[in-house]
Amino acid sequence: MKACIYPGQGSQTVGMGAKLFEQYPETVEMADNILGYSIRELCLKDPENKLAFTQYTQPAIYVVNALHHLAYVEEPTTRAPDFLMGHSLGEYNALLAAGVIDFSTGLKLVKHRGEIMGTANGGAMAAIMGITLDVVTETLEENQFKSIDVANINTQTQTVIAGLPDDINRALPVFEKKGAKTIPLNVSAAFHSRQMESAAREFSLILENFQFRAPRIPVISNVTAKPHQAHSIRQLLSTQLRHQVRWLDSVRFLERQNVDTFTEVGAGRVLTRMLKKIHREDRQLSKAA
């Protein structure tokens, strides 16, 4: 069994998609008309250093992922996947690949999403590595860090937390005493946490204006770590903004469905490295047991 996976924010680099903009001029022109600027110039040159800003990052990654998908399905040896999955923003490319939305609908949604998330502020995020989720949650409870949420569960020993900046800064030394490596993330808000409640409500109103078709291929939801159902796609896309990304649980679900091949389609190979880390940690835990 095979799954195609699509990366999200954090996979962007200047120069991404360089070989694809010439290959799919109609899609690129459509993107420019929707966005009101040259997506090619943003991705290849980024002359105004906008690629690091969420409202530009998200459309750029969505478009480059979509172009990679077009090239991928045109390869003569490509076999249709049995499942699709994306990390946060990448879920929109998975929904595109499943026929739930078309390219323009997805880009319009991502544009709105990036603008809403880009205006959010007052929060912080940090990666906690080298300790398990259980230790992370126990540490938060023991030290009364009640404003901090778990935002991403990426691997057995890679968790992202989100909350108020002062609380995140106070928590990092505590995690380091537990043996963790901590990395503050360069973000302006606490994405995938309760701090995004108002953003999720605003985005839910936008989602009401769009239509979603039933998936032709099962798409795994970041929120439930199970396949999307047609009737709840709109709700889960709104919830995703304030809910933790259950990447590890999603990978586990696919493995239980006998998926043994994961193909990353898009900008970079962030998810491929993450999968290798999951499997490496599995082997280590198996030996320790």
pLDDT tens per residue, range 115-158: 999 999 889 999 999 999 999 999 999 999 999 999 999 999 99
Q: What is the pTM of this model?
A: 0.96
In the chain, CATH 3.30.70.250 sits at 124-184
Instruction: Please classify residue 194 by burial: count the beta carbons closer than 10 Å to its beta carbon, then call 0-12 exposed, 13-18 middle and 19+ buried.
Output: middle
Confidence of residue 288 (pLDDT cuts 50, 70, 90): low
The residue-averaged pLDDT of 17-24 equals 95
| Residue-wise pLDDT tens digits, 30-40 | 999 999 999 99
Query: Looking at residue 260, what is its pLDDT?
Result: 95
Identify whether the C-beta of residue 66 lies closer than 8 Å to the C-beta of residue 59: no
For residue 241, report the phi and psi dihedrals to the nearest 5 degrees.
Answer: -60, -35
Model confidence over 33-86: pLDDT tens digits?
999 999 999 999 999 999 989 999 999 999 999 999 999 999 988 889 999 999
Helix or strand (DSSP H, E) at 83: strand 83-86
Long-range (24+ apart) CB contacts under 8 A made by 101-108 are 101/210, 101/212, 101/213, 103/27, 103/30, 103/66, 104/30, 104/34, 105/210, 105/211, 106/62, 106/66, 107/30, 107/31, 107/34, 107/35, 107/59, 107/62, 107/63, 107/66, 108/34, 108/210
Residues 165, 147: contact at Cβ < 8 Å?
no
Given the residues 68, 192, 228, 243, select the one marked as catalytic.
192
Whether 279 is a known active-site residue: answer no
Q: In which residue ranges of the chain is CATH 3.40.366.10 found? A: 2-120+193-288
Q: What was the pLDDT predicted at 232?
A: 97
- Asked if 50 and 42 touch (Cβ cutoff 8 Å), the reply is yes
Concerning whether 69 is annotated as a catalytic residue, the answer is no
Domain 2-120+193-288 sits in which CATH superfamily? Malonyl-Coenzyme A Acyl Carrier Protein, domain 2 (3.40.366.10)
For 180-226, write each residue's pLDDT tens digit: 999 999 888 999 999 999 999 999 999 999 999 999 999 999 999 99
Residues 11, 88, 193, 238: which is the catalytic one? 88
The CATH homologous superfamily of the domain defined by 124-184: Malonyl-CoA ACP transacylase, ACP-binding (3.30.70.250)
Say if CB 176 and CB 182 are below 8 A apart.
Answer: yes
- Check whether 10 has a pLDDT greater than 70: yes
Q: What gap in Å lies between CA 283 and CA 133, rounded to an integer?
A: 18
Q: Which helix (H) or strand (E) holds 274?
A: helix 270-288
